[in-house]
Structure 1
Amino acid sequence: MTSSTEAIIRRLASRQPMRPEATTQADIYMLLTAAALGLDTDDVVTMESQLADGTRRRIDIEAGHVVIEVKKDLRVGDLTDAEKQLAGYVAQRTKELGGRYVGILTDGTAWRLYHLADDQLTCVSELELSPRDPDKDALLVWLESIMATREQIRPVPAEIKQRLGSTSPAHQLDYAALAVLYRDNRNHPEVKLKRELWAKLLRTAFGTGFVDDETLFINHTLLVVTAELVAHAAIGWDVSPHGPLTPAQMTSGSEFADAQIHGVVEADFFDWVVEVAGGEQFVTELGRRIARFDWSKVEHDVLKVLYESVIPQAEREGLGEYYTPDWLADRIVDDRVRDPLATRLADPSCGSGTFVFHAVRRYLDAAEANGTPTGKAVLDVTRYVVGMDVHPVAVTLARVTYLLAIGIERINSEDRGPLTIPIYLGDSVQWEQNRDLFGGTDRVTITTAGNELVEGGGVLFGDDLVFPRSILGDAQRFDQLVSAMADNALDLSGKKDSTLIDPVLRRFAVTAEEAKILRTTFSTMRALHRSGRNHIWGYYVRNLIRPLWLSEPGNRVDLLVGNPPWLRYSKMTEAMQTRYKTLAKTRNLLNKGLGASARDLSTLFVVRAVELYLRDGGQFGFVMPHGTITRRPHSGFRSGKWAAGTGDHLTVAFEQSWDLAEAATGFPMVSCVIRGRRAEVATAVPLQTVKWSNRLSSADLPWSEVAERTTSGHLR
């Protein structure tokens, strides 16, 4: 920061009684032109801009899409008149020039940012400078965040939080604009359906801790649309307002499809934004902010940082959402993956993709060292590193994280063929194993009714989407078949169902028995669309069935890693508690006469993941609550004998655990890491553990910054 800029900010902060308003106005003009805000030729700063409304009204200062009204002292008098005046200026500029204009009201010391909706201004962010010691950097970041001018910003945690996090004026503006869009369209049938499906999945993930809250849905929508724009920018596409892509293209993923990259951005629960009036403008303005970052230089899971900076900590803790710090995920992957090119790995609770990021990087580094052509390495890694989660926002973030882990240069390699990012929205626990859903011998049922996946069975059988289990063997073929069915179900021409579905069935060469089931399902999909519930079912079905595909014996993996949900029994819904007790009792998790109330979901989740997705002899490493290795209620889990009373053989050989009681993890309670393999003979968790210790300024740091400050050793 130059000395002249510092001097200007000190004068502005002083709020001298005799200082003329025109002098403050001139200083603000000088600040905007002299400070390193990165204003380009389209963002010329002007004073006394004439409004084209037939009056003599003039805007004090205008910079890009920002209108600034300067007053002598905002503490004196009623703000109403000043806000009304500013509202007129912002509304007129929006009408004249289009785009989203915002307003700032200031006296040089107090700064107030306003969002305009229905000709009414709402203050969304405030900044107050100290007259004695003004925070000069805070003001410049605040202004630059609003104007979205600086470019090539490194996407490191501090910059992400400062410019896109919940306390940034940019986020507050975007949230205010999106909230207006949602409230104006909350009763639209498609918007209602997508919120209902979103709530259904989160209720399954978080039980009674989840509250179907409008604010959370808006924030999740903002996070997903942001991540989708980041995905485009990560490929090298221009997502700024000057770029060639339309908002609809960026939220539908059509460019990815054209580039033969599948499973990153697609129609989901949050694309309602571009289907309502004003939504495309919102996406355009958001793209302006995302385009400022250099997404080719990503070193770890930055979208986790964004998620944690937008969703309040208390809310995340209430849901049991504890994302693994970067350094710890790095160490677990390093410990478990001995031969990257021969290890198929899955994270069944992948969250925003931290473990996946490190696994992808490790595989690709090994492939490069091995001399594998880039195109082949990129294709192969998608077969060797897989993630799943039941949280729809986490899945979108993880897909983009996977893309960032591969990197722009590899993605754009000339020898890269068709690519599918293997991150799936699904119920890894497979709660409904005793119902048709994820458990029938010859068919799989997805219910479209009910409040949560655990309930199973729709209100009417005709609401269920049924698929023959025999077509699940080829995952890509199944995805394409369901997508084709969903596309044809949108037809409102009045054609017979058979006219629309039979050509699809012939193209995918299904058997007569399979066709009989699929024709009924297609009719249900058409009926859902006619009732105002749309194409989302194709996305929903393809993803929810993926865990079942991975559990087929031929598809199981060599290694499971991750951080399972730590959902307390008391927080589970009644239906989930019933299923929990049924599953936990037969897997030796409710022993010693202790009831289910003393436990959480994490141990059952690990048992089910090993049971369903890990091959014989395969290894695992999971972050767990510390009580898993110490407390009496978990003695059955620690025994490694997990199939009591089922007649099946499910045993694991535990290795030494890691004690993280003295390590910085960012979790609200102490934790540990359990390690082992699926084995013929059970080996209990060893009494001796490996103690990790460090003190960090922030838990979520890369291992390169943590290594010298961390010790580990054996502890009895």
Structure 2
Amino acid sequence: MSSDERAGKQLAELLGAVGEQDIRRRLANLLAELGAGDYALEARAGTGAADLVCHEYQVVIETKARGEAGPERLRSGAGETQFGQVARYVEAFADRHLDLGSQRPWRGFLTDGRVWWGWEWQAAPGGSSGAGSLVTLPHVQGVVFADDAGAFGQFVVEHLAPPERRGAPAPPSPLRTLFDPFLAELRVLLPTVETEPFYETKFGLWRRTLQGSGLVGPGAIGQAHNFAEHTMLVVAARMIVLAAQDGSLVDELPEAVADGFCAWLGDFDGGVDLLERLASSVSQYDWRAADRDLLKELYHDLIDRDDRKEFGEYYTPDWLAADVVDQVLVRDPARLDAAIEAAARTLEAEPASEAAEQGAFSVLDPACGSGTFLFWSARAVAKRIRSAHPLLAGRTREIVAAMVTGLDVHPVAVEMATATLATALPPGGMVPLRVYLADALLHSEQAQQNMQGTLGLTSAQGQRIDIPAEVIESPRAEVLVRTLVDVAVGERSLDAEDAETQALLSEAVAQLSDAVADEGDHVWRWHIGNQVAPSALARNKVMAIVANPPWLVANDTPAGTRKDQLATLSERYGLRPKARWSAKGDLASVFSARAADLYLGDNGAFGLVLPGSALINQTWESWRSGSWGGTKVGFDYVASLDDVEPPPFRHAPNGTCVVVGRRLGEGAPDWHDAMLLQYSGDPEAPTVTEIVRRESKPSPYSRRFRRGAVASPLGLCLALDPIQAGDNDTATVQTKASTKPPWKGVSYEAVVETAALVRTLRAQTLEPFVCSPDAWLIAPLAEGRRAVMALNDPEFRTSLPRAHGYWTIAEARYARDRAKTAGATLSDNVDFQRTLTNQLAAESSEHKCKVFYNKSGDSLRACRGPADLVADDKCYWYVAASPEEALYLTGVLNAECLQDAWRESKTSKLHFDTNPLKHVPVPAFDPDSALHARIVVAAREAEQRPTAPRTALTDVVAEMLPDYAAPSGPAPSRRPPPAAPA
């Protein structure tokens, strides 16, 4: 079948389609067949998603069901016209591409597959942001097509894909489809050169570089498969930089792979051939058409999740990075304008002039990963230049490159971040991009000494090179480093006419020349430049930090110098309240405090993506004080992202939050005065709601509830229903298999006396108002039930001989794998900290009634039960003074109107503990109170009908605690206001 025949068949199928999705899909296939460009489906555009978007011809198409299209008709479910919908999408794309220097106007079309309308975007004079309108394409207003492929093809050529409007297409999605074939070739090439000296040298360099990051131990790095993937990522990133900066890839190919571990590909014919073909493929695309961090997606696709976890690499979603940049930069236009003007003045100044400013206009991501924050920061700065600084528009590329800076310890991440930043810049030729392989923490003692004088670098073989402080402080730092290396490797001599530079660099040149003579000359410019960068930033400061600091758990940080230094920094900033540094999220807290101390100027702003535990966990309490050693910060707003679906990080058990604040700002609010926000719904356009903080007041019950029995390991001491009754008051039980090492799968069948079994309520079976115990704790209790008998207790052997036989086996198994912090024996552990016998002592109470609630979960659940029922360690319990008090408490704890207050009182993302009663002032039960009596009546009704609506209970509890009930919780939805001007 010829192309014309295929097009005719596809047009017939399009004209026969009825549903919108079917029309959209068939239209995309037909346009591809006609060579009208590649169309992306459901492409994000501002506050919505456009049905079909082609970057090659800059076209947006909005499709509707058959007979449902019309410019003046309202779009489904909204008060907006379909024309307004098209205009909104086109404006979003046109506005984005003006920042990138595009001169071709975008076009928008509306169709049901048969009838077409078309418009073209006309920017306002000056091209300011958001200014312009759609103008009618005169020959595309209600055009109707019959089954005529030739006529439709002519329509496409004239209006959708005129040859003169054609540009380079956007990069393919997913990006791995471009690079997968080359990666497969590269993997085949590896075995053919593994014994070559050049390969062994570069492979060794790769391993040393990764180990030098401090994030992985000497034996933790993958072998050849990761080397191939990292090589491909670095080569791809470097080629994208050249393509995005208008470089000729083939001409610049040697430079793209001249240094670093990926240079092995340029050392043999097969590698050079692969590079040339890859360069040809990369050069076909317009990399500035990217609307997100493409390299992040490529990295996630090419590197196994287990390998990424080993390096602690989980990168920020674009929507979240864009939102943080918006809060920190865009919503403080005065600060951003001042920074843009300062950067322009520095670029205009003579290199040695005192007018050159010292970098306080930079936006820094000190843990930049693949460059997501750099991408959105660059886009925000470029947009502001276009809208508010038209006289600087011609220098946008230089200004943005000078203002946006990234640091990372991972060498592959730095390459990707450089490429990501390059795709965010408008065209205009090569400019230096400020992304450096460096440890933002500057944690070594050597680095601390260097802050006072020279920057002392150590070569691979231990030779010292001292970089003068004047080089670090100079706005010409990059030029001076390049001069230093060029002279040391013999590419030029120091200019005798420039006596100042000669005097400044002469000693360093001598030291570096010796190192070059002994160790070669291929990485010095890269190595020294990356070391100078964080020192210069620490001296000169930045105006803003936007970052997602590493979320590595301290216990998962490889043992060694870096882990010890992180612990020292934690103490220095007052973030280590306990004797051992082990809480989850510790690295993020230390990293953010250290970065603010080193780099952030007075009143500088920061926006951080952090584990959700930062909002509430006790381990973050010192961090939330805003007093980090000698660094003081205030908080503008804090936001929980727990209700965003899908969540930003699927494998983050503690959720995600955003914290925005300022350093040393007069009047900057402390944590408790900061705006508290809740993000929910669609991550691309979340609903943002301000939450009103409730006053924390303790209840008298906060000291009365106690934690249940810490009986473990389950596989040795807990049996589930059913149990089989035997002779002489015995029973056959099967212990519950554990699910976590070292007890995973451990389970025993045993015959024990029923006197050794204690009825137990597990949190898993606890439901509101429903007490359904399904477990038995094996507990050899002494007479009087005041203690668990030890194995060598004579009473144990005589009173419970069958249980004693089982306990002998269980004790031996326990001794083999017990944790150091657990009880010395199984008997000790079953009654750890007397959490079992304290409950049994309550049986002597005159009123045999207990109240139980769950320790963990999303909602608080409570029930009442007999006093001899034991709560497990996932429950809390209290012996009520009367059945009425028990009903009162279960009614209050189960009240739906208080569930938000219970959750807000958590100091852990996982656990309620006793915090609900520490922060919500539930009054003590008063039998003479009419209000309390009404709660008892409503709770009794709920207990009798637990699945029925509990409106009466909700109303009466809200009446008792109006300030903590749900109606007083969320405030009207609004975004944070602009930060106070600097």
TM-score (norm 1): 0.64
1:248 aligns with 2:254: yes
Map 1:64-143 onto structure 2 (within 5 A).
none
Task: Quote the Cα distance in structure 2 between the aligned partners of 1:211 and 1:439.
Answer: 31
Please name the residue that 1:565 is paired with: 550
Please name the residue that 2:228 is paired with: 218
Check the 8 A contact 2:554/2:581 in 1, yes or no: no
Check the 8 A contact 1:389/1:424 in 2, yes or no: yes
Task: Quote the Cα distance in structure 2 between the aligned partners of 1:480 and 1:523.
Answer: 21
Q: Which amino acid aligns with 1:295?
A: W
Deviations 1:203-254 (A, max 9, x none): x245579515332222111011111222222234554xxxx526314435xx
Please name the residue that 2:516 is paired with: 525
Map 1:618-697 onto structure 2 (within 5 A).
618-643=604-629, 649-663=630-644, 664-669=647-652, 670-679=655-664, 684-686=670-672, 689-695=676-682
1:336 aligns with 2:348: no
Cα distance change, pair 372–194 in 1 and its aligned pair in 2 (3 A): farther
Among 138, 149, 155, the alignment partner of 2:171 is: 155
Check the 8 A contact 2:552/2:586 in 1, yes or no: yes
Deviations 1:309-328 (A, max 9, x none): 11122322332211111111
Give, in angstroms, the shift of residue 280 of structure 1. Answer: 1.1
SS in 2 for 1:691: strand
Check the 8 A contact 2:634/2:662 in 1, yes or no: yes
Task: Quote the Cα distance in structure 1 between the aligned partners of 2:692 and 2:212.
Answer: 41
Please name the residue that 2:500 is paired with: 509
Deviations 1:163-186 (A, max 9, x none): 43xxx4x25423324534652436
Q: Which amino acid aligns with 1:562?
A: A
1:429 aligns with 2:438: no
Cα distance change, pair 305–388 in 1 and its aligned pair in 2 (3 A): same
Cα distance change, pair 207–608 in 1 and its aligned pair in 2 (3 A): farther
Map 1:209-358 onto structure 2 (within 5 A).
210-237=220-247, 239=249, 245=251, 247-252=253-258, 267-337=259-329, 338-339=332-333, 340-343=336-339, 344=361, 345-358=363-376
Deviations 1:278-318 (A, max 9, x none): 32111012123323433242222111111111112232233
Among 416, 419, 439, the alignment partner of 2:431 is: 419
Deviations 1:552-595 (A, max 9, x none): 1xx21111111111122122232112111211101111015553
Please provide the CA RMSD for this pair: 3.4
Deviations 1:512-556 (A, max 9, x none): 586334412321232111xxxx4212211111220000011xx21
Please name the residue that 1:87 is paired with: none
Task: Quote the Cα distance in structure 1 between the aligned partners of 2:661 and 2:589.
Answer: 14
SS in 1 for 2:627: coil
Give, in angstroms, the shift of residue 437 of structure 1. Answer: 6.5
Task: Quote the Cα distance in structure 2 between the aligned partners of 1:515 and 1:383.
Answer: 28
Deviations 1:435-480 (A, max 9, x none): 257635222122234xxxxxxxxxx65x23322223222253x333
Please name the residue that 2:561 is paired with: 575
Aligned identity (percent) is 25
Gaps of 5+ in 2: 8-31, 36-166, 340-360, 694-982
Give, in angstroms, the shift of residue 607 of structure 1. Answer: 0.7
SS in 2 for 1:308: helix
Cα distance change, pair 279–268 in 1 and its aligned pair in 2 (3 A): same
Task: Quote the Cα distance in structure 2 between the aligned partners of 1:187 and 1:383.
Answer: 36
Please name the residue that 1:486 is paired with: 485
Check the 8 A contact 1:234/1:404 in 2, yes or no: yes
Please name the residue that 1:49 is paired with: none
Please name the residue that 2:534 is paired with: 547
Cα distance change, pair 289–201 in 1 and its aligned pair in 2 (3 A): farther
Check the 8 A contact 1:322/1:667 in 2, yes or no: no
Please name the residue that 1:42 is paired with: none
Among 577, 593, 602, the alignment partner of 1:607 is: 593
SS in 1 for 2:287: coil
Give, in angstroms, the shift of residue 196 of structure 1. Answer: 4.1
Task: Quote the Cα distance in structure 2 between the aligned partners of 1:207 and 1:642.
Answer: 29
SS in 2 for 1:270: helix
Give, in angstroms, the shift of residue 335 of structure 1. Answer: 0.8
SS in 1 for 2:603: strand
SS in 1 for 2:239: helix
Q: Which amino acid aligns with 1:159?
A: P
TM-score (norm 2): 0.48
Give, in angstroms, the shift of residue 336 of structure 1. Answer: 1.0
Q: Which amino acid aligns with 2:414?
A: V
Task: Specify the structure having the higher radius of gyration (Cα).
Answer: 2
Check the 8 A contact 2:602/2:663 in 1, yes or no: yes
Check the 8 A contact 2:402/2:433 in 1, yes or no: no
1:360 aligns with 2:408: no
Cα distance change, pair 381–598 in 1 and its aligned pair in 2 (3 A): closer
Give, in angstroms, the shift of residue 656 of structure 1. Answer: 2.5
SS in 2 for 1:382: helix
Task: Quote the Cα distance in structure 2 between the aligned partners of 1:601 and 1:508.
Answer: 46
SS in 2 for 1:445: strand
Q: Which amino acid aligns with 2:567?
A: K
Cα distance change, pair 389–465 in 1 and its aligned pair in 2 (3 A): same
Check the 8 A contact 2:471/2:480 in 1, yes or no: no
Cα distance change, pair 318–192 in 1 and its aligned pair in 2 (3 A): closer
Kindly indicate whether structure 1 or structure 2 has the higher relative contact order, using CA contacts under 8 Å at least 6 residues apart.
Answer: 1
Please name the residue that 1:465 is paired with: 465
Deviations 1:644-680 (A, max 9, x none): xxxxx31111233110112221341111111211126
Deviations 1:590-617 (A, max 9, x none): 0155534555311111111100100111
Please name the residue that 1:107 is paired with: none
SS in 1 for 2:597: helix
Please name the residue that 2:456 is paired with: 445
Check the 8 A contact 2:467/2:508 in 1, yes or no: yes
SS in 2 for 1:430: coil
Deviates further, 575-584 or 515-524: 515-524
Gaps of 5+ in 1: 7-34, 39-150, 253-266, 413-417, 450-459, 492-499, 644-648, 697-705
Check the 8 A contact 2:494/2:502 in 1, yes or no: no
Cα distance change, pair 273–162 in 1 and its aligned pair in 2 (3 A): closer
Q: Which amino acid aligns with 1:650?
A: T
Task: Quote the Cα distance in structure 2 between the aligned partners of 1:536 and 1:376.
Answer: 31
Check the 8 A contact 1:443/1:467 in 2, yes or no: yes
Cα distance change, pair 318–190 in 1 and its aligned pair in 2 (3 A): closer
Q: Which amino acid aligns with 1:392?
A: P
Q: Which amino acid aligns with 2:196?
A: N
Check the 8 A contact 1:219/1:310 in 2, yes or no: yes
Task: Quote the Cα distance in structure 2 between the aligned partners of 1:331 and 1:633.
Answer: 27
Q: Which amino acid aligns with 2:230?
A: H
